[in-house]
Amino acid sequence: MNDLLQHLEFLYGADQAPRLLQQTQHLLDGYRPRLPQRDGGLSERDSLLISYGDQVQHPTETPLQTLKRFCDEHLTGIVNGIHILPFYPWTSDDGFSVVDYRQIDPNLGTWDDVSSMQNFRLMFDGVINHISSKSDWFQKFLLDDHRYKEYFITIEGEPDLSQVVRPRALPLLTSFQTPSGEKKVWTTFSDDQIDLNFKNPEVLLEILDILLLYVERGATFIRLDAIAYLWKEIGTTCIHLSQTHTVIQFLRAALSKVAPHLQLITETNVPHTDNISYFGDGTNEAQLVYNFALPPLTLHTFHTGDARILSNWAKTLTLPSDQTTFFNFLASHDGIGLNPARGILSNTEIDSLVNKVIEHGGLISYKHNADGSQSPYEMNINYFDALTNPNGHDPLELSVSRFLAAQAIMLSILGVPGIYFHSLFGSRGWADGVKQTGRNRTINREKLQFDELQNQLADETSLRFKVFNKFSQLLKVRSSSPAFHPHGTQKILDLHPSVFAVERISSDGNACVLCLHNVSLKSASFSTKDGSDIILEPYEILWLKNI
C-alpha cells in the first residue's frame, strides 16, 4: 500500500493521506470478493469494435440486445472485444454528459444486457473529467448541499485564466444560481458538462468506487475520457499536470490490487509526445494510449500518395515496457483530430488536409487559442469519405481498395486495433444527421436498422458487403499470427516512397510478417531485403509471412 500512500500524500498532503488510505483499503476489501478474475493479457487476437449501444436497432428488442445479436452473428471470430460507448443516462454530447455513472440508460437496456455480451471483452467509458449539469451531484450542489459543495470547481473574482488550454471554442466558466448566490463553475467542454473537483479527495474515492463497479459488471478495459484536463491549477495550462498523472497512477495502483486483469486506456487527443506521456514509466499509468496521430497522418499519406512522413513517424513508435501498447484506430465516434499531427505535419500540410476534407463534404471544428484566435482542431467526416470524395467518380472497387489499404496500415502497426462500427461496415457520411442536430460530429454517428443492415451485408454488390468481407479477412489473418502480438516488435522499412512497409516480429522471434501497402494510385516496383522483386498495384495490400 506504500504506492497508494505516496500518491495520496502528493495529492492531498501527509496529514490527510493515512485516513484516505484507510478509506481506499476499505473500498478495495469490499469489492475484492465480488470481482471476476480473468486473463487480462493481450494477444494478436485482440481487436475491439467501437460502437454506440444503440448503433443497431430493432423494434422488438432493447438496443443493447440488438447489438449483442448482431455482433454474435457477424463478429464472432472477427473481433474479440467491444467498446460500448457511454451507455449511462445522459443529457448531451451523445452520452458524454453523464447523469448517473452507476446506471444504464433505460433507452438502451439494462445491466443484464451488458453482462450478456461478455463472450466479447468489454471496454467501458470512465467519463470522469465532468458530469451532467442535470446529475444528482450537481443538482445538490446547486442547493448548497454540504456533501457536494466541494465536488465542483468554483471561481471567485477575475483570475487570469488565459493560459488554460481550450479543447473547444466555448466559455470556460458557466454561471449558476444557488441559495448562497451566483457561482461561476468550471466547464471545460460545455455548459452541460460540469468539471469534477479532484482537489476534493472524496471525489477521487467516489470515482474509484465507480470504476470498481465497472470491473464488477464485466469491464476488461476502462477508457479514461478527456483525462488530460482532470486537474486544474489557476496560472497553468490545466492540461497534463503532474497531479493528473498522479491520479491515474493512484487508480492504476488501486485497481491492480483487486483486478489485475483490468487495462486502463487514456483518451488524450493531444500532440504525440504529450499523448504517450500517459504510459508513465511503463508500469504505473495507462496500459494503452490512443494513437491519435495515426488518423491524420494516414489520411495525409493517401491524399499525397507518399508514405514517407508516416513511415518516419512510425519509426519513433517505441514502448516503455512490455506492459504497454498503443490503441490504434483511424475513425471513431469523434472526428479526426489535428492537434496530434502538429509538429509532424507542417501548417501548410494541415491546411491541405482541412481543405480536402471540406472538398469531400466534411466539416471543421475549431478551438480557442491563448491569443484569442481560433484554429481547426478536428475534421468531422466519415473516414471513407475523407479518402474518397462522395461526389467524385472513382470506381467502387478502387474506393474500397483505397479504404482497406488505409485500414490495413492501422492493423499492421504495433498495438491493439480499434475499429469504429461505421468503418467495419462501409458507411458513408450522414449529412442529414448534422442538419437534424446542428452538431458536426453527427456526420459519423448514424444509427442503423438491423434488418436493413442484414440485407446489405447479404448483397455481394453492396459497399457494405465489399468492405466488411475484405476487412474481416484482414482481421482473421492478423489474429492468426503471433507476429502481430501487441507486445511484439516492428521495423519500418524504406522500400519505396509510395509504400508503407512494416515488418512485424513476435516477442519470441519465431514469427515474422512483412506488411506492404501501396498508398498511391500508381503501381510501385521495388525489391525486398532478401532480393525479391515486388510490384504492388494501386492500393494493393501484401502481407508476407516469415520474410
Instruction: Give the C-alpha separation, 208 to 8, whole Å.
Output: 13
**Residue 225 catalytic?**
yes
Mean pLDDT, rounded, of the chain: 96
Q: What is the pTM of this model?
A: 0.96
pLDDT of residue 372: 72
pLDDT beneath 70, residues of the chain? 370, 547
DSSP for 39-96, written as a single string: -----TT--EEEE-TTSEE-TTS-HHHHHHHHHHHHTTTT-SEEEE---S-BSSGGGT
Instruction: Give the C-alpha separation, 286 to 543, whole Å.
Output: 31
pLDDT of residue 370: 67
DSSP for 417-439, written as a single string: EEEEHHHHTT----HHHHHHH--
90 alpha-carbon distance from chain centroid: 19
3-class state of residue 155 by DSSP: strand
Which entry of 54, 93, 225, 385 is annotated as an active-site residue?
Answer: 225
The contacts of residue 322 (CB under 8 Å, 6+ apart) are 487, 507
- List the chain domain ranges: 41-126+291-487, 135-194
- Cell of residue 317, nine digits: 513508435
pLDDT of residue 33: 95
Q: What is 41-126+291-487's CATH number, 3.20.20.70, 3.40.50.450, 3.20.20.80, 3.40.50.1100?
A: 3.20.20.80
pLDDT of residue 547: 61
Instruction: Give the C-alpha separation, 498 to 539, whole Å.
Output: 10
pLDDT of residue 168: 77
